[in-house]
Structure 1
Amino acid sequence: MTLAQSRIEDSYPTRVVGEAQLLERRDPTVWGAEGDGPFDAAALASHEAKGYTILEGLLSPAEVQGYWQELVRLSSDSQLKTDERVITEKQAGEVRSIFEVHKISELINELTRDPRILDRARQILGSEVYVHQSRVNYMPGYKGSGFYWHSDFETWHAEDGMPKPRAVSCSIALTDNYPFNGGLMVMPGSQRTFVQCVGATPDDHYKASLKEQEIGVPREDDITRLAAECGIDQFTGPAGSALFFDSNIMHGSGNNITPYPRSNIFLVFNSVENTLEEPFAAGKARPGFIGSREFTPLSR
């Protein structure tokens, strides 16, 4: 049996030639039920409708301070400077992201197993989960560049081989998120629409896209249409707040030209029933530090 015969049907084709289309999502946003975790029925219904949930005060001020010190330590570690997992700003050269951070930092590894986070990820996805991706993001004052509108699942599907949007991300703010310092914007309800992107995936595309993505981004007309239908919300709140958001929700952030930095821990949980295959629209899979192929379920 060939790979083409054995692999799952591609329900979300992308990186197409010609005209991109908006496809109706075939899968739920919430796979679990009220009895599966800490979210009550109303919270789950809200997450199913909007595609995201904000929890203020997930981390205490003392915990925030501890993780902030860990981010400072990591960004100052001279041994990490040449590590491929460290991504720098395209213009300023400062650290932008550190990937696979749960394997670099024991403190953040413990955070992936924290029941306040892990139990919610399991509940949303209705199964055991593993870490598909982890990173810390730094957006310094004045120089921090944003992320253009995109769906994470489009990239994870095309370049990592994730079959379905049965993954959820948790972004934990370690600094106050204001409306004016590059906070993440989301289009509530947009997770119900898969936006195809145009153009073939270049070889080793990740090397450029982690600094500034140009392939795998939607057309402006499609962004305009989604914004008109869904509107735009923003993740704001004090340090220690957390945003759980669906893998297919349309989101992005602007540049930070204020004096106030914005940093966060970003954890992606994928269902063990949705493990990666060969990429759906790329010649080869991205490295494991971006899309993990270690599918062992997380335990506390």
Structure 2
Amino acid sequence: MKLTSEQKGRFADEGYIFLPDVFTADEVAVMRGEVPRIFAQRRPENVRERTGDVVRTAFATHTYDPTFAALARHPRMVEPVIDLLGGPAYIHQFKINAKAAFDGDQWQWHQDYGTWSNDDDMPGPHAMNVAVFLDDVTEFNGALMFIPRSHKLGVLEAGHDLQTTSYPLWTIDNDTIRRLVGEGGLVAPKGKAGSVLMFHGNLVHASPGNLSPFDRTIVYVSLNRVDNAIRRFKRPEWIAHRDFRPIEPLPDDCLLTLSKAA
């Protein structure tokens, strides 16, 4: 999949692009069908909400599940990122974030590169996120919130929040967020399952809790340029990967072919 010059310009200016209908209903069904089995497993990669026995994040599913291994190398995801990053990329992090109906907790205001820099010693912000919607994302079930153009401000001062949720983040204080929203506004891209969001590693973002009766499951793949590999290995490998080999895309029909073979 090739991005247009307009889409690339929007990414450079706003820090994100939203692409509807990247994956078909059949492809989404294949991926969503794997999620209950993955979440049912008792393994360290499955981080649960602090308030109960509900999975918050399933890390590194591409390392043991064939369906998500295929998604990690899907050309509709990988090729646009390589184009935007300007060189070959590897998977820095792969996770399924589940905001379960009624139980999904918030994600505080942060920049992903802030965590990658502080925790993993990633040299520069030459990494970005791809979010693949496995459920419809609406105003009710915890849509991501972005502050447009905040990626142009570089790495902002942040504190290490170890208390708010079950997963630690380097988070940005409320006064800074108030100022940034006053300058850049606030958006919450929403859309059908199969849609894709691509956003810069320095874009300031967050998401509220999910009090609705609708699940909100999103796959996040963080891709880093190969020449920007991390230099600190204090986090588990299933959170910050050590395999720096460039991704080799699979055929475009890999998700459906895999399903038929199974």
Structure 1 and Structure 2 fold alike (TM over 0.5) = yes
**In the alignment, what sits opposite 2:10?**
46
CA contact (8 A) 2:48 2:54 kept: yes
Q: Which of 62, 87, 94 is matched with 2:54 structurally?
A: 94
CA contact (8 A) 1:140 1:261 kept: yes
Q: Which amino acid aligns with 1:292?
A: H
CA contact (8 A) 1:185 1:232 kept: yes
Q: Specify the SS of the correspondent of 2:131.
A: strand
Show CA shifts across 1:146-175 (max 9, x none): 101110110110001111111111111111
- CA–CA separation in structure 1 for the residues paired with 2:34 and 2:164: 26
Q: Evaluate the alpha carbon distance shift between residue 209 and residue 248 of structure 1 in structure 2; reply closer, same or farther with a 3 A threshold.
A: farther
- CA–CA separation in structure 2 for the residues paired with 1:71 and 1:64: 11
Matched, 1:173 2:137: no
- CA–CA separation in structure 2 for the residues paired with 1:146 and 1:242: 21
Larger Rg: 1
CA root-mean-square deviation: 1.6
**In the alignment, what sits opposite 2:166?**
211
Show CA shifts across 1:192-225 (max 9, x none): 11211246x9xxx7xx787243x62111111111
CA contact (8 A) 2:30 2:67 kept: no
Q: Evaluate the alpha carbon distance shift between residue 210 and residue 85 of structure 1 in structure 2; reply closer, same or farther with a 3 A threshold.
A: farther
CA contact (8 A) 1:195 1:222 kept: no
- CA–CA separation in structure 2 for the residues paired with 1:93 and 1:231: 36
- CA–CA separation in structure 2 for the residues paired with 1:210 and 1:112: 27
Matched, 1:130 2:72: no
**In the alignment, what sits opposite 2:242?**
293
Q: Which amino acid aligns with 1:74?
A: I
- CA–CA separation in structure 1 for the residues paired with 2:220 and 2:35: 12
Q: Which of 160, 174, 198 is matched with 1:220 structurally?
A: 174
CA contact (8 A) 1:179 1:236 kept: yes
- CA–CA separation in structure 2 for the residues paired with 1:223 and 1:189: 13
The correspondence of residues 1-12 of structure 1 with structure 2, limited to 5 A, is none
- Aligned-residue offset at 1:143: 1.1
Q: Specify the SS of the correspondent of 2:224.
A: strand
Runs of 4+ with >3 A deviation = none
- CA–CA separation in structure 1 for the residues paired with 2:187 and 2:159: 26
Instruction: Give aligned pairs, total.
Output: 248
Identity across the alignment (%): 28
**In the alignment, what sits opposite 1:239?**
193
CA contact (8 A) 1:132 1:270 kept: yes
- Aligned-residue offset at 1:134: 0.2
- Aligned-residue offset at 1:277: 1.3
Q: Specify the SS of the correspondent of 1:113.
A: coil
Q: Specify the SS of the correspondent of 2:2.
A: coil
The runs of 5 or more residues in structure 1 that have no matched partner are: 1-36, 279-283
Matched, 1:110 2:70: yes
Q: Specify the SS of the correspondent of 2:171.
A: coil
